[in-house]
């Protein structure tokens, strides 16, 4: 069983070799950091002194968690399924003795690992950009009030339902643009909904921002709990979808 699962994972990784996903994982957090780095440097020390490093980190996390990370997830999940949609790849996969449930879990696991890597790169780029700003005369970087470990863990956990929703949409829709457009609409909707104390939990796209940027620990825990609970339901849903698709094709 374990050997069979590892074989499927290796097969899925092989499919992604020519999809430029790794450069994409570097480019997205790098774009966020570069933009905020240039804006911070352009504004100078006087504006920086108003909010300090906490303001710099908050600006980066808002752009990353609110826009770039959800769109990156949409791109990755769409690319992974477009490989199967192209040239009736589902027919080929159904001809092998592969469990559709294991195939689903393998794709989900790979996407989750890629998103974990992107969050890790984001944290690394924050430290690098902070070091560069210090070399340019900005104050010493103080991270005592900023938990980068919590940022990394919360951002990864709250990405789970977004990943699974992306897998469901890209699985059902044999089109590259539609899932991306749907994700962008949900991101814009979530940006407005995240400002509401009573309605933010209706959109999973708000969970990453809420889990990081809200000071109330109860609200943070609620975002993480909702992410895990919704992910369990969505995982069952997407596994069922894979099983149904396999039966339909077969």
In tens, the pLDDT along 208-244 reads: 999 988 878 899 999 999 999 999 999 998 888 777 7
User: Domain locations in the chain?
Assistant: 18-249
Considering only CA atoms, give the Rg of the chain.
Answer: 20
Rounded Cα distance between 32 and 147, Å, is: 19
Are residues 166 and 179 in contact, defined by beta-carbon separation less than 8 angstroms?
Answer: yes
| pLDDT tier, 117 (very low <50, low <70, confident <90, very high otherwise) | very high
Instruction: Please give the pLDDT value at position 104.
Output: 79
Query: Mean pLDDT across the stretch 50-69?
Result: 90
Check the CA dihedral 229-233-236-242 and report its sign.
Answer: negative
pLDDT digits (tens, 9 = 90+) for 28-41: 999 999 999 999 99
Whole-model pTM?
0.88
Angle at 73 between CA 34 and CA 32, to 5 degrees: 10
Mean pLDDT for all residues in the chain: 84
Q: Is 124 helix (H, G, I), strand (E, B) or coil?
A: helix
Are residues 61 and 151 in contact, defined by beta-carbon separation less than 8 angstroms?
Answer: yes
The residue with greater pLDDT, 161 or 87, is 161
Q: Tokens representing 246?
A: 């396999």
């Amino acid at each position: 069983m374990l050997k069979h699962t590892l074989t499927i994972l290796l097969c899925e990784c092989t499919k992604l070799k020519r999809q430029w996903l790794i450069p994409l994982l570097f480019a997205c957090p790098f774009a966020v950091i570069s933009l905020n780095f240039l804006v911070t440097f352009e504004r100078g020390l006087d504006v920086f002194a108003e909010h300090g490093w906490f303001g710099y980190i908050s600006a980066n996390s808002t752009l990353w968690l609110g826009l770039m990370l959800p769109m990156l997830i949409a791109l990755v999940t769409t690319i992974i399924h477009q490989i199967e949609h192209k040239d009736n790849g589902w027919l080929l996969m159904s001809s092998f003795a592969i469990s559709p449930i294991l195939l689903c879990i393998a794709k989900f696991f790979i996407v989750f690992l890629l998103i974990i890597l992107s969050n890790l790169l984001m944290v690394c780029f924050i430290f690098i950009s902070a070091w560069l700003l210090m070399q340019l005369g900005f104050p010493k970087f103080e991270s005592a009030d900023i938990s980068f470990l919590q940022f990394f863990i919360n951002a990864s956990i709250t990405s789970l339902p977004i990943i699974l929703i992306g897998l469901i949409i890209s699985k059902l829709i044999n089109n590259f643009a539609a899932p991306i457009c749907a994700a962008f609409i949900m991101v814009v909707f979530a940006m407005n909904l995240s400002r509401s104390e009573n309605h933010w939990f209706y959109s999973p796209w708000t969970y990453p921002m809420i889990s990081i940027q809200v000071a109330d620990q109860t609200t943070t825990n609620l975002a993480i709990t909702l992410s895990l609970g919704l992910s369990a339901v969505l995982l069952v849903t997407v596994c069922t979808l894979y099983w149904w698709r396999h039966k339909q094709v077969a």
